[in-house]
Structure 1
Amino acid sequence: QAIYGSVRPLTVYITAPRQSGSPFEIFVCNLPWQVDDSWLEKLFSAHGEVVDARVVYYERRGGTRRSRGFGFVTMATEEQSYYAINSLNKQVLEGRTLRVKVSRESPQQGY
């Protein structure tokens, strides 16, 4: 059951490794607002070894943080990354349809 009335598509991207043997990064969007780093890690760990999972936040007045509705997950191998993408893309989480893809750009470049 959705906590919020609106539904946004979630997109996840995997980046190519920065160097040989590097982990692979996935971009996930349309995350429910209540999803945090540990929830994101648990979601993806069912599909392989999670090296890192982080939700992107912005600071609000008064020092509070709010999710921007997207995040990044780094899997241990390319195979696990693609397995996670194929398994989770377009799945509904808390009433929101996740979009999960290979991250093509670094998080600093406008996600």
Structure 2
Amino acid sequence: MGLMDKIKLLKSKFETAELYEKETTIFGSQTSYGKKLNLSPDEKSKLVKNLTPREKETFLILLGGYSLKEAAKQLGISYSTANTYQTAIYKKLHVNSRAELIINFRDLWETREE
């Protein structure tokens, strides 16, 4: 396989990934604190089910209003590990900040408390 063939292959993979990303984009409306996703409770639950068990624990602690440092302490892990979990959670749930996480998923926390 020549260099040009490799470049064409990489380009087609990139375009395919870009197309997939556009197809799976979740749209929302902008608030003063971040975007509000247009998701039903079932869709939110499906997104949360994609989290690993440790990410779910971190997710619930963050939804409870704890800082990342406090979450790490509660889970008995290092801050950098908690940060890695937080990054994965944000990516999987399509949010960019703690405010967006709380805006979009606090109803799951309220349901959990009942």
Q: Which has the larger radius of gyration?
A: 2
Higher strand share: 1
TM normalised by structure 1 equals 0.29
Higher share in helix:
2
Higher relative contact order (CA 8 A, sep 6+): 1
